[in-house]
Amino acid sequence: MNSAPGIAFQILQSVFVVLAAPLLTGWVNQCRAWLQNRSAPSILLPYFTLAKLFHKDAVFARDASPIFRWTPYILFGCMWLAAGIVPVLATGLPFAPAADIIALVGVFALARMFSALAAMDIGTSFGGLGARREMLIGFLAEPAMLMTLFTAAFISGSTQLTTIVDTLGHREFALYPSLAFAAVAFLMVLLAENARIPIDNPTTHLELTMVHEALILEYSARHLALIEWAVAIKLFAYMTIGIALFAPWGIAEAGDWSALPYAFAALAGKLALAGAGLALIETLLAKLRLFLAPEFLSTAFLLAVLGMLTHFLVQG
């Protein structure tokens, strides 16, 4: 599928994800505000924030090395690449064979490594602390994530996301207990990886609890904007991976223009539901102590392993 329509679809999807990601963040924030009985900010607020940050002058710490300078671009690039690989709007994109699910997890790990390096680069105590916490969460979340993806890969017999979506999307209806386990595990990993509430509070600046905010404390202006944007794309990518694995109905085939409006509508509906669900989870749960994070993530790992074992036992 390296023909012109395939490439057109690829470009369309990549641009769409980058442009739509802040909207999803805005929607989650809006839902959260409603649920917490606050008056909600505009759904477009993330765009205004990005525009504001891009117009400011960047400031660097005196001792900043090139790693600190490059990291925002690397982060943004990694997330954009991930957004191009995940089948968001269509399957069979020309980018898709470039990386399977294992490489995808690797792309996320690369981004995490650079953000931790950049945080330590400045030499502030917050940066080091945030980097250490981020790596702790990351190294526990990664095996759980891989196990979750393996369960889906076993069912469809391939580690290519696009093949998995094709297999799962076009089968006759069947209940898969293994996928139910995997879905719960994936949800837990999503919360941990995207600095969401049981693990990290995305809105806090309290030094005792912040993880993700501590990493990016020294960034300003366009660099901060790029990082915030990358974070939004990451959330979008994770949600679309979840949708691709557990609710893949309605996705289009690359090059099939007539299915595109339906694919857009299905994606928008599913993302709206997922965003509202995320806001609900964040409202209902309290933040865990950092030392309980290993327990949370080992539960996720356990569920993922159980899912895989159940697949072998009941063949489904």
Partner 1 sequence: MPLLAQLVNVLAAFLLLLAFAMLSQRRVLTLIKLLAWQGAALALSTGIVAWSTGQDHLYISAGLTMMLKVLLIPWLLHRLIDRLFIRWDVETLINIPTTMLIGIGLVIFAFALAAPISQMASTLTRSTLGIAMASILLSFLMMIVRRKAVPQVIGFLAMENGLFFAATSATYGMPLVVELGVALDVLVGTLIFGIFFFHIREQFDSLDIRHMETLKQD
Residue 176 Cβ vs partner 1, minimum distance, rounded to whole Å: 8
What are 225's two structure tokens? 């904007």
Q: Using the minimum distance from each CB to partner 1, give the nearer residue, 129 or 306.
A: 306
Residue 296 Cβ vs partner 1, minimum distance, rounded to whole Å: 10
Binding mask 296-315 for partner 1 (x = CB under 8 A): --xx--xx-xx--xx-xxxx
Instruction: Looking at residues 159 to 188 of the shown chain, list those that interact with partner 1 (rule: CB under 8 A).
Output: 174-175, 177-178, 180-181
Q: Using the minimum distance from each CB to partner 1, give the nearer residue, 29 or 178.
A: 178
Q: Distance (Å, rounded) from C-alpha 95 to C-alpha 86?
A: 9
SS3 65: coil
Residue 316 Cβ vs partner 1, minimum distance, rounded to whole Å: 7
Instruction: Looking at residues 192 to 221 of the shown chain, list those that interact with partner 1 (rule: CB under 8 A).
Output: none
Q: Using the minimum distance from each CB to partner 1, give the nearer residue, 65 or 298.
A: 298
Residue 311 Cβ vs partner 1, minimum distance, rounded to whole Å: 10
* Greatest Cα pair distance in the chain: 61
Binder of partner 1 out of 128, 143, 277, 294 (CB under 8 A): 294
What are 138's two structure tokens? 């990351």
Q: Distance (Å, rounded) from C-alpha 41 to C-alpha 22?
A: 13
Q: Using the minimum distance from each CB to partner 1, give the nearer residue, 219 or 296.
A: 296
DSSP designation for 38: S
Q: Is 291 in the site for partner 1 (CB under 8 A)?
A: no
Taking a C-beta distance cutoff of 8 angstroms, is the pair 215, 116 a contact? yes
Give bridge partners of residue 46 from the DSSP assignment: none
Residue 180 Cβ vs partner 1, minimum distance, rounded to whole Å: 7
DSSP designation for 253: E
Which of the stretches 33-41, 50-58, 270-278, 293-301 binds partner 1 when contact is defined by CB under 8 A? 293-301
Q: Distance (Å, rounded) from C-alpha 164 to C-alpha 182?
A: 14
What are 226's two structure tokens? 């790029």
Q: Which residue spans within 69-193 are E strands per DSSP?
A: 90-91
Q: Using the minimum distance from each CB to partner 1, give the nearer residue, 176 or 229.
A: 176
Taking a C-beta distance cutoff of 8 angstroms, is the pair 232, 46 a contact? yes
What are 190's two structure tokens? 């999503």
Residue 294 Cβ vs partner 1, minimum distance, rounded to whole Å: 6
Backbone angles phi, psi at 87, to 5 degrees: -70, 95
Summarize as ranges the residues that interact with partner 1 (CB under 8 A): 174-175, 177-178, 180-181, 294-295, 298-299, 302-303, 305-306, 309-310, 312-316
